[in-house]
């Protein structure tokens, strides 16, 4: 299931059924929570797969990689 599946879910209109606006609002909140949880999972997975212990480590690696791509100074192998 994806957030878009939640957001685009449709229900039959029935007599004495639920308030459609309330259902839509609830589905929007569920989709938002689902999307947020998926985003956090992706970040945690990325940290684990690269061996980064914290967001700071990940940012430092990104800055280092950006420096290498732009031709800036690199500390790799300079020892």
pTM for this model (two decimals): 0.44
Per-residue confidence (pLDDT) for residue 11, from 0 to 100: 81
**Per-domain residue ranges of the chain:** 3-69
DSSP assignment of 37-56 equals HHHHHHHHHHHHHHT--SHH
pLDDT means over runs of 10, the chain (79 residues): 82 80 88 84 70 61 71 50
- 67: phi then psi, degrees, rounded to nearest 5: -65, -40
Per-residue confidence (pLDDT) for residue 53, from 0 to 100: 55
Contacts of 73 (CB under 8 A, 6+ apart): 67
């Amino acid at each position: 299931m994806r957030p878009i599946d939640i957001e685009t879910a449709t229900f039959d209109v029935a007599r004495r059924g639920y308030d459609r606006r309330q259902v839509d609002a609830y589905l929007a909140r569920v989709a938002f929570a689902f999307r947020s949880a998926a985003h956090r999972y992706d970040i945690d997975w990325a940290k684990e797969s690269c061996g980064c212990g914290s967001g700071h480590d990940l940012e430092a690696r990104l800055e280092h990689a950006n420096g290498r791509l732009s031709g800036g100074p690199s500390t790799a192998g300079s020892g």
